[in-house]
Structure 1
Amino acid sequence: MKNTLEDYMNRNYPIIVSLIKDDTDTYYKVSVPDLPGLNIYVDDKKEIESELKEAKKEWFASRIKFNQKIPLPQFNNSKSGRITLRVPKSLHAELEYKAEEEGISLNQFLNYLIERGLEKGNLTNKNVVNEFYYHQNLKFKQENTKSFSLEPEESSADTVSLKE
């Protein structure tokens, strides 16, 4: 049985909202990663829901009309909040030092850096992605790396603690 326009409209596709500031204007870009090419731009956050609904409806209707494949949502919201990360000892030391300078835990500092990068779009910048792949190809000696484990803290589901 084929899915209908209504079926697709009722699916929960994750979105990415980016605040864009240029020389003269501030606006929002809203994209749906699972639906290629579906991007909208709005001046006010209040417009996001209605504009996105209309854009999705048109996107799905066009795909259905021309018998094109419509991907299902791929977002998995059942993550544990735990990340295991290996970094060189020197980077570990530098991160700890900077966290101490700020008077916060290493875990809080890492969360801050990640959130700041996501907010500014730094983690989606082509140069950053290319740099990431470059560094992934570098070979670090095992003795120069340290293993970390990020686990949810007892006090809050939204925070994670760093455990060695």
Structure 2
Amino acid sequence: MKKIGAQDYKIEVMPDKDNKNDFLAYIPQLDCWGDGKNPSEAIKEVIDVGNDIIELAIEDGVKVPLPTSNNLHEEYSGKLSLRLPKYLHSEIAKRAESENCSINQLIQSFIAMGIGMKYGEEKITINIGIDSSKLQKSVVKDKSNWFEDLSKRLDKKMVTGKC
């Protein structure tokens, strides 16, 4: 069984806007932050926080989103052939002309808006290529209210050193 750790997730590192000498690290899929005097410190801290979140999820039997593969998009060329009814093709061409853009740009915008809207409504995490039967139980179960008291438990762990 493969055990998921925070280091398996995409980590974003950026300068701290409030303190110009520090850095922030963020794991979007776990919605957790770390900071440090340099990028390495920030990454180490966000991994520690992420691992605490995963550990608490396992204890509580809560679903943890599967890490998204960093090379998930490499197998796609970005080209798509699409057949449309003549009427729809005509309507899209008229709309593209009125928007002063190409048909391709218009369709791409509509697809992106539709995917974004659907994601916002459902908050879906899509993971491809991972056999979920071989992952820890926290990936399988879900308790929707679990995140509500997570910050309290993490604060307690920081003060006492244990949950």
Bin for the TM-score computed over the shorter chain:
0.3 to 0.5
The structure richer in strand per residue is: 1
Structure 1 length normalisation: TM-score?
A: 0.42
Q: Which has the higher contact order (CA 8 A, sep 6+)?
A: 2
